Amino acid sequence: MATSSVSFKSREDHRKQLELEEARKAGLAPAEVDEDGKEINPHIPQYMSSAPWYLNAERPSLKHQRKWKSDPNYTKSWYDRGAKIFQADRYRKGACENCGAMTHDTKCCMERPRKVGAKWTNKHIAPDEKIETFELDYDGKRDRWNGYDPSTYARVIEKYEARDEARRKFLKEEQLKKLEAKNNNKDDESEVSEEEDDEDELRVDEAKVDESKQMDFAKVEKRVRTTGGGSTGTVRNLRIREDTAKYLLNLDVDSAYYDPKTRSMREDPLPDMDPNEKFYVGDNQYRSSGQALDFKQLNIHAWEAFEKGQDIHMQAAPSQAELLFKNYKIIKDKLKSRVKETIMEKYGNAASEETLPRELLLGQSEREVEYDRAGRVIKGQEATLPKSKYEEDVHINNHTGVWGSWWKDYQWGYRCCRQTIRNSYCTGSAGIEAAEAATDLMKANMARKEIADDNPIQREEKNLATWGTEVPADLVLDKKLLAEALKKEDQRKKEEKDERKRKYNVKWNDEVTAEEMEAYRMKKSHHEDPMKDFLQ
């Protein structure tokens, strides 16, 4: 048994509700009605979206699921922007220290910070803003255009309309000025016939016509069963109806043929007319200009390449043919540039040479300048060079030239002192002379070294003794001293063999005479001598 969704505080209330429903079914109690005064069917649950067909209910209800009745507390009004409520005469406690308004504090003040705030000056107290608080419903909180005034958009429309009107007026004035100037020029040159005057007046009147009255221009129409093929899409009519149609340019029967099906006229309808005054010269013009000419050259290249054995076909592989034609043009341009460079290297290029001054080119000038024998100007002035906005002739470190005015051995430098170290102090002519002297000295040393390497020094041959020692050529030995030295040498060798005979206190003399040295050489054992065993 379905019951209405009612919450009960106790079992007694629940029991009473059940008894009331039973009485209503028996017809002993009045039926329950909704807020609209209609009877509620107890067999239909109130949470159902649609009642079953067998209950014959007039309409289901979902009122218990949605707050269908609007809350009177909700409002659709919006904030009153810029409204003020009270203007104080003096500063009040708790107000903003900057402007003096009570509706905000100093931190949230939007006024320019004053040098001395209103709290201390009691002057220029700002009025209190109108503070409003609204309780918006669900839709009001999410409405992007809540509080928007549609009348404010009229300003935007007026702004753009004024701009378009000013632009239109300016264009009309310019067009009228040009036409009037043209008419005045014609009147000054010769008398204009009445027919030409009528035409000029007609042009002026046409210029005065508003642009909006030009009919059918830039109008987009639907294309239905046209020669373009198909019945869908749109076509823009870019021809003003004032322009003469191509088939009306020449009404002669023997003139250029006009095909009404394709709307084409290949030949020129007015071949004898001045080309500068023609508006239309025939459709064949488009075949020899623009992309049509490029496509024609592409086809010719494909045919010629196929005749020379290349596997290329314009219709079968158009991308391949276009790529080959592009590569062919690149190679051709490189070859032409290479031939041009070769010719210029061999014969020169007069066009790239510097042009002669105007005085030399024309052989004369209007400026008269008189010089003396020393080259000083007596009469007239030389041409003054214009000065730039940058500082000129400002040098550093005592230099009289700028950096980069000197070039030598792949190095830049100063012309005044020929130094290649930037920001160095200028040494003037003395530095140049010192550098030249150092260069000359270095070159002389290098030349001397080369000569020394070519002619090595020849050293004198020394007179060597029998056993390889150096002996002066003028050495004279005393025989007696040599005999004594030989005895001493024999005694020394005996002491070396038997160390027991060596005395404790050895006397050593560093001075060695020539005889003692000769005795040492004579008694010295020579291992390379084959007769050494017979000397002892």
Higher pLDDT, 266 or 186: 266
Q: How far is it, in rounded angstroms, from Cα 19 to Cα 28?
A: 11
- 18, 58 in Cβ contact below 8 A? no
Burial 511-535 (b: 16+ CB within 10 A, else e): eeebbbebbebebeeeeeeeeeeee
DSSP string, 15-84: HHHHHHHHHHHHTSSPPPB-TTSPBPPTTS-TT-SS--GGGT-S----TTTS--SPPTT-------TT-E
Select, from the ranges 54-58, 150-154, 220-224, 232-236, the one with the highest average predicted confidence (pLDDT): 150-154
Higher pLDDT, 329 or 526: 329
Q: What is the pLDDT of residue 121?
A: 93
Domain coordinates of the chain in residue numbers?
11-65, 291-347, 394-454
Identity of the amino acid at 404: G
pLDDT category of residue 1 using cuts at 50, 70 and 90: very low
How far apart, in Å, are the Cα atoms of 272 and each of 259, 266, 280? 22, 16, 13
Q: What is the pLDDT of residue 98?
A: 94
Q: What is the pLDDT of residue 464?
A: 41
Q: What is the pLDDT of residue 394?
A: 81
Higher pLDDT, 441 or 531: 441
> Which residues are 84's β-sheet partners?
129
> Which residues are 235's β-sheet partners?
221
Which residues make Cβ contacts (< 8 Å) with residue 57, sequence separation at least 6?
Answer: 41, 44, 51
Higher pLDDT, 500 or 109: 109
- 84, 128 in Cβ contact below 8 A? yes
Q: What is the pLDDT of residue 307?
A: 92
State yes or no: pLDDT of 233 exceeds 90. no
Structure-token pair, residue 257:
């043929």
Q: How far is it, in rounded angstroms, from Cα 403 to Cα 413?
A: 6
DSSP string, 369-383: -EE-TTS-EEES-PP
In 3D, which of 398, 430, 424 has the Cα closest to residue 411? 424
- Three-state secondary-structure class, residue 296: helix
Share of the chain above pLDDT 90, in %: 21
In 3D, which of 90, 104, 100, 98 has the Cα closest to residue 126? 100
Burial 291-320 (b: 16+ CB within 10 A, else e): eeeeeeebeebbeebeeeeeebebeeeeee
Higher pLDDT, 454 or 102: 102
pLDDT category of residue 88 using cuts at 50, 70 and 90: very high
Average pLDDT, the chain: 76
Q: What is the pLDDT of residue 6?
A: 44
Select, from the ranges 49-53, 102-106, 469-473, the one with the highest average predicted confidence (pLDDT): 102-106
Q: What is the pLDDT of residue 329?
A: 93
State yes or no: pLDDT of 295 exceeds 80. yes
- Three-state secondary-structure class, residue 181: helix
Q: What is the pLDDT of residue 503?
A: 64
- 415, 406 in Cβ contact below 8 A? yes
Mean pLDDT for 214-221 is 49
How far apart, in Å, are the Cα atoms of 422 and each of 12, 399, 414, 425? 111, 11, 8, 9
State yes or no: pLDDT of 241 exceeds 70. no
- What distance, in Å, lies between the first and last C-alpha atoms of the chain? 156
Q: What is the pLDDT of residue 330?
A: 95
Select, from the ranges 27-31, 518-522, 530-534, the one with the highest average predicted confidence (pLDDT): 518-522
Higher pLDDT, 67 or 397: 397
Q: What is the pLDDT of residues 395-409, one digit of tens each?
A: 888 888 888 888 888
State yes or no: pLDDT of 157 exceeds 80. yes
DSSP string, 223-251: --S-TTSSS-SEEEE-S-TTSPPGGGS--
- Minimum mean pLDDT among 80-84, 93-97, 182-186, 431-435: which range? 182-186
pLDDT category of residue 117 using cuts at 50, 70 and 90: very high
Structure-token pair, residue 113:
């910070």
Q: What is the pLDDT of residue 182?
A: 86
Q: What is the pLDDT of residue 128?
A: 94
- Minimum mean pLDDT among 185-194, 323-332, 386-395, 490-499: which range? 185-194
State yes or no: pLDDT of 283 exceeds 50. yes
The backbone torsions φ and ψ at residue 49, rounded to the nearest 5 degrees and listed phi first, read -75, -35
The backbone torsions φ and ψ at residue 129, rounded to the nearest 5 degrees and listed phi first, read -80, 160
State yes or no: pLDDT of 2 exceeds 50. no
- Minimum mean pLDDT among 3-7, 196-200, 239-243: which range? 3-7
Q: What is the pLDDT of residue 291?
A: 86
Mean pLDDT for 29-47 is 53
Helix (H) or strand (E) holding 413: strand 411-414
∠ CA 114-116-119, nearest 5°, is 105
In 3D, which of 298, 289, 295, 288 has the Cα closest to residue 327? 298
Q: What is the pLDDT of residue 492?
A: 80
Mean pLDDT for 229-249 is 65
Q: What is the pLDDT of residue 209?
A: 46
Q: What is the pLDDT of residue 448?
A: 87
In 3D, which of 180, 234, 232 has the Cα closest to residue 204? 180
